[in-house]
Structure 1
Amino acid sequence: MKIILLISAMQDGGAESVASTLVNAWAERGDSVTLIATFSGRGKCNFAISEKVSFVYLADRVKSRGGRILSVFSRLRALRSLIREIDADVLVSFLANVNVSSIVASRGLGVPIIVCEHTNPLADRRALHWRLLCRWIYPRANLLTLLTHGVVEPFRRLVPGIKHIAVMPNPVPEGLFSERRGTPVMSDRKRLISLGRLHPCKQFELLIGAFASIADEFKDWDLWIWGEGQERAKLEAQIRQSQLRGRIFLPGRTLTPWREMAAAQAFALSSSHEGLPMAMMECMAIGLPIVAFDCPSGPRELTRNGQDGLLVPPGDTRALATALRRLLSDETLRQELGQRAAVSVRERYSLGTILRMWDELFVQVGASARQ
């Protein structure tokens, strides 16, 4: 089968991690796979992409460098030409802006298109024009996927004309299973970690505040937040003010996130909203105990309603500090939660399970390999 997967860029992020996992798996099993990055600035790929995958930057195909409107039309024209040239059996598109462009560019070409939301679309505060475009254009896709069952009916009300919706979770990358929990780089220190963009929706200021409030009780623990983004200066100022610069770290992006997870003792998620958070899923699969805000979509599903991790009310810094105190002080609890999380996540979200679900969707939209 010829498969095109479209995404904005491949620098970092949960959707990007999923994209790399899927295209590599499809290519390895013998499908002809093209990964198209549509971001006009091209960007750098920070994920391992199989040599069997054809990786194309749309920016390399865009000829016009006119004004903004001309640039949009030039990119849509280039994308349409590329889709026609590849002659794929199915298109898979990730993220709202790419979804809209992919539907418009492929209109009339007779290629089934599956568009995928990788955040909670009801809580991500996207701009009004994007909400309207999704409402008008999404119904022209053959199928839309959401990450959790909890957002299906609300999304139907948001986009009433949508034809078909399916729940498609993210897969756990196969390579993650070879990682083994080890000792941290400094053997006398324990690490509480988080990973994600330094963006307001991640609410890392609340995590820093919660950790700072109990730091004196756990002098052998440090907080490491991996990621980069617009909130760096604000978070650095908060760390300076807390006088914990030697115990709270913002080391930036990491190209070896699984290694950092394996070297940690606990993970915290402080987001205001999520889709199905990959960093949290991967930490659980590796056997790391977690504390998470019970934010809309994601943490509750991953932890099976709190069986496999500690959930606290969204945005409640005091409750987060209390849960962290409980987890950091109890090694037995950390071991029990980590073991349950690893078994549960690996059973529900293994790559083989998710690939079979994708194959069912391909059949549903009428995609099949042409002889």
Structure 2
Amino acid sequence: MKILFFVGAMNAGGAERVAATLVNAWAARGDEVVLVPTHLGSSRSFYPINDNVRVHWLKQHLPALPLPSALRKWLGMRRVVRQEKPDVVLSFLTNVNVATLLSLRGLSVPVVVCERTNPAHATNVGRVLGWLRRRYYGTASAVCVQTSDAEKALRTMVQRLPAVVAIPNPLPNDIWHIQRQESVEKETPARVDALGRLVPAKGFSLLINAFAEVAEQRPDWHLYIHGEGPQRAELERQAELVGLKDRIHLPGRTEYPWHELAHSQIFVLSSQYEGFPNALLEAMALGLPCVTTDCPSGPADISQQGKDARLVPAGNKAAMAQALAELMDDRRLRGALGQRAAQSVRDRYALDVVLQQWDQVFKQVMQKE
């Protein structure tokens, strides 16, 4: 199978990492893969790309015509597809999806477009792009989202959609090489960890307040919030106000999140909303017992409605504090929940499992064409 994959850029980011994981896996198993970053800036990928993946930076294929930038880009995308003659075209992110659908009109190649956030909470889709999405998504062969919540939101926003399929992000194979030792439970201080950009949507203010509710009776526990962002000073002040500046740590962005989580006892996702919470998925894969808000979208799917993690209402400090206290106080419960979480996400989100879902979509759209 020959797959041509349009992405925006290949900078550091969740969508870009998933794109790299997919193209590398397809190339490794023998598919012919052409990756086309459409961003006209840097011609480098932050993530390693398999040598068997052919990378065409779109700016090298633009027509030398005095045309508006968007039109030149669309003509370049059309030119690449006509040259490569792929069996299927895949694209990530709303703006790239719209450009793909517009540029390939009239070509007899199946096109699968993928939303990478919950459309109900996307902040980067303006009025014009939103209108174009509503107008042209119906011309795609299939639309992929990451969660059932995102599927419901998209169906309410866009009429006359083709097949809509929820395919989650795969777990990178490298994560299985990280071993979380049983001796972690004896490390002091005991740790509650969270990961994410320091912005209000991540709910870290709520997490600090929930931790403060239970911290006095549990002096051996510390909270670590890994990340950077505009809310840092506010969160540092909050840690002082609750009297826990020595037990609430904001160490900044980590290059090695899995290694940090491997030394934690509990992971918390406190978000108000998510596109797809990779941090939660990866913490569960590492065998960490997790507390997560039931925010849109992803935590309910990943935790199997609270079976594999403690699922609490978004914005509910008391419920989060109670869930934290239960796990802090019961080592056996932490072990059992973490073990169940690791097996569950391996069964559902391992790379080979997710690749089978993509194969099914490709098979359906190619048969339809």
User: Could you say whether these structures have the same fold, taking a TM-score greater than 0.5 normalized by the shorter chain as the test?
Assistant: yes
* Residue identity opposite 1:145 in structure 2: C
> Residue 149 of structure 2 contacts residue 298 of structure 2 at CA under 8 Å; is this kept in 1?
no
**Post-superposition shift, 1:313?**
0.8
**Post-superposition shift, 1:176?**
1.4
1:234-253 alignment to 2 at 5 Å? Answer: 234-242=234-242, 244-253=244-253
* Residue identity opposite 1:354 in structure 2: V
Structure 1 counterpart SS, 2:121: coil
User: 1:3 — aligned with what?
Assistant: 3
The alignment status of 1:96 with 2:82, answered yes or no, reads: no
User: 2:79 — aligned with what?
Assistant: 81
**Cα gap change, 1:20/1:221 in structure 2, threshold over 3 Å: closer, same or farther?**
farther
**Post-superposition shift, 1:47?**
3.0
1:98-113 alignment to 2 at 5 Å? Answer: 98-113=96-111
Structure 2 counterpart SS, 1:166: strand
- Which moved further from structure 2: 238-247 or 167-176? 238-247
User: 1:120 — aligned with what?
Assistant: 118
User: 2:363 — aligned with what?
Assistant: 363
The alignment status of 1:33 with 2:36, answered yes or no, reads: no
Q: Name the CA distance, whole Å, in 2 between partners of 1:34 and 1:48.
A: 15
Structure 2 counterpart SS, 1:366: helix
> Residue 7 of structure 1 contacts residue 93 of structure 1 at CA under 8 Å; is this kept in 2?
yes
Identity among equivalent positions (%) equals 43
> Residue 46 of structure 1 contacts residue 255 of structure 1 at CA under 8 Å; is this kept in 2?
no
> Residue 42 of structure 1 contacts residue 59 of structure 1 at CA under 8 Å; is this kept in 2?
no
Q: Name the CA distance, whole Å, in 2 between partners of 1:60 and 1:249.
A: 46
Q: Name the CA distance, whole Å, in 1 between partners of 2:78 and 2:240.
A: 50
* Residue identity opposite 1:129 in structure 2: V
Q: Name the CA distance, whole Å, in 1 between partners of 2:44 and 2:77.
A: 20
Q: Name the CA distance, whole Å, in 2 between partners of 1:261 and 1:228.
A: 17
CA RMSD of aligned residues (A): 2.9
**Cα gap change, 1:308/1:107 in structure 2, threshold over 3 Å: closer, same or farther?**
same
- Which moved further from structure 2: 335-344 or 212-221? 212-221
**Post-superposition shift, 1:56?**
4.5
**Cα gap change, 1:245/1:139 in structure 2, threshold over 3 Å: closer, same or farther?**
same
**Post-superposition shift, 1:342?**
0.9
**Post-superposition shift, 1:259?**
1.9
- Which moved further from structure 2: 238-247 or 130-139? 238-247
Q: Name the CA distance, whole Å, in 2 between partners of 1:48 and 1:123.
A: 30
Q: Name the CA distance, whole Å, in 1 between partners of 2:219 and 2:292.
A: 22
User: 2:141 — aligned with what?
Assistant: 142
1:295-314 alignment to 2 at 5 Å? Answer: 295-314=295-314
Structure 2 counterpart SS, 1:22: helix
Q: Name the CA distance, whole Å, in 2 between partners of 1:230 and 1:99.
A: 30
Q: Name the CA distance, whole Å, in 2 between partners of 1:189 and 1:353.
A: 37
Q: Name the CA distance, whole Å, in 1 between partners of 2:290 and 2:349.
A: 17
- Which moved further from structure 2: 235-244 or 210-219? 235-244
> Residue 147 of structure 2 contacts residue 298 of structure 2 at CA under 8 Å; is this kept in 1?
yes
**Post-superposition shift, 1:23?**
1.2
User: 2:337 — aligned with what?
Assistant: 337
**Post-superposition shift, 1:29?**
0.3
- What is the CA deviation profile of residues 192-248 of structure 1, one whole-angstrom value per residue up to 9, with x for unaligned ones? 222233343322222233223333333333322333444444434444544544433
**Cα gap change, 1:39/1:342 in structure 2, threshold over 3 Å: closer, same or farther?**
same
**Cα gap change, 1:34/1:259 in structure 2, threshold over 3 Å: closer, same or farther?**
farther
TM-score (norm 2): 0.87
The alignment status of 1:16 with 2:22, answered yes or no, reads: no
TM-score (norm 1): 0.87
**Cα gap change, 1:365/1:266 in structure 2, threshold over 3 Å: closer, same or farther?**
same
- Which moved further from structure 2: 271-280 or 39-48? 39-48
**Cα gap change, 1:179/1:136 in structure 2, threshold over 3 Å: closer, same or farther?**
same
> Residue 42 of structure 1 contacts residue 58 of structure 1 at CA under 8 Å; is this kept in 2?
no
Q: Which structure 1 residue ranges, 5 or more long, are not aligned?
A: none
User: 1:270 — aligned with what?
Assistant: 270
User: 1:133 — aligned with what?
Assistant: 132
Q: Name the CA distance, whole Å, in 2 between partners of 1:57 and 1:326.
A: 51
* Residue identity opposite 2:86 in structure 1: A
User: 1:319 — aligned with what?
Assistant: 319
**Post-superposition shift, 1:269?**
0.8
Structure 2 counterpart SS, 1:339: helix
**Cα gap change, 1:92/1:217 in structure 2, threshold over 3 Å: closer, same or farther?**
farther
Structure 2 counterpart SS, 1:122: helix
- Which moved further from structure 2: 208-217 or 294-303? 208-217
